[in-house]
Structure 1
């Protein structure tokens, strides 16, 4: 397993590296002193996990996660502050480890990581490379159950998918049911010619776009037909969006 340590304190990075030497199957392949450096490293190296400090100069760990729309590995927060624990799990962090880090507590995190990665491999063995036959077409019908309500809906009727932690909210007609699935897992099954990942929280049906406007920091904002939802396309994804829809 490959790891990147993101912490503005060099001594803290060195101490965590020393502790991780007790786990030969984990290799620290990079270090970053801030989130700007971290983003470039993650895109280049695609680690399995990042050990992320919260309080850093510039963006905090939470602020960076909210904005980041690139490849995201498992996240283990390492911090001296215990008041952020609830928020950490709201953003789907794998674990939250307090400094000074004890070897026994780190061992628990490593065990969680091993279990999580093993489950991913079993559940999504095709995740590394998804070939077209895995995609559901826009004409395929899916069964959706939310509480006591059930729907059998064609995918071309779904205009928007929104991440809600471990759930995804599907928007079609006047309905907004929740399904127990991550947005990443859903993205793996959807046809990329029809469904586009606008940002970390949203996938949009390209056929429902009604209006496109320039937005902040080089991004775009699209308005969807139906209920008029306005969805921001991040700056990074805007480049892909323009390439996808250009002649």
Structure 2
């Protein structure tokens, strides 16, 4: 498995030293990209490094852990809250944290939490590899082409180049590989009728996604897809089962 990276944010240097020590002793495969006691400074480095895992305190001067988390760019890190307070566990669950550990840190609970995250990241990597391998064998080129009307003109593009389509009322914004998004005066439902249902799935009233462009999806009560262009899209609860059925039928990947 490729190197897993992490970042530690805690206003107590002693806590940072302890977490660092436990990671180095028990998880040498995890590379610590940095640590910081100041949340604002940490946010700048996290935005730059984009670590796989963030170990995050909640109560910190200037900016609390939840505020920091809300300002992180659109990617999907695994979040482990490590705090002296128990009352924020439900809020941590709402933001899809992978772990919530209270201080003083219990070694076995820390190890279990990190092991679970490593297993999740391994599965995500397998899913991404499966998508990549299928993207490289040219099978998407066999899907044919689609006409995209733009004003009085039309462009002919490969269906395999579509990433996802976004409904904007009577208009649809189309996100393509190696091309800026295109705004089209045509309803999303019309495109859905034209595209192969084996390869495209309506995950939300606003979004129609190309299943072969899904890199990974988050765990938690709300399903979030990470698309091939780095954007994150929500799957409505009504469409969650349909998404997994379509995704498994296309890739035969375990959830």
Q: How many residues align?
A: 165
Structure 1 pair 30/100, CA: closer, same or farther in 2 (3 Å)? same
Match 1:106 to one of 110, 134, 137? 110
1:69 aligns with 2:73: yes
Structure 1 pair 59/106, CA: closer, same or farther in 2 (3 Å)? same
Query: TM-score, normalising length from structure 1?
Result: 0.56
1:46 aligns with 2:81: no
Query: TM-score, normalising length from structure 2?
Result: 0.54
Higher helix share: 2
Cα shift at 1:108: 0.5
Match 2:21 to one of 18, 21, 28? 18
How far apart, CA to CA, are the structure 2 residues paired with 1:109 and 1:19? 12
How far apart, CA to CA, are the structure 1 residues paired with 2:127 and 2:50? 20
Q: Once superposed, what is the RMSD of the aligned Cα atoms?
A: 3.6
How far apart, CA to CA, are the structure 2 residues paired with 1:71 and 1:54? 20
Contact 1:4 1:47 in 2 (8 A): yes
Structure 1 pair 14/137, CA: closer, same or farther in 2 (3 Å)? closer
Cα shift at 1:112: 1.0
Contact 1:8 1:56 in 2 (8 A): yes
Match 2:205 to one of 170, 178, 185? 170
Contact 1:54 1:79 in 2 (8 A): yes
Structure with larger Rg? 2
Structure 1 pair 6/126, CA: closer, same or farther in 2 (3 Å)? farther
How far apart, CA to CA, are the structure 1 residues paired with 2:44 and 2:63? 15
Cα shift at 1:79: 0.5
Alignment gaps of 5+ in structure 2 = 137-157, 166-171, 173-187, 194-202, 208-220, 235-255
1:4 is matched with: 7
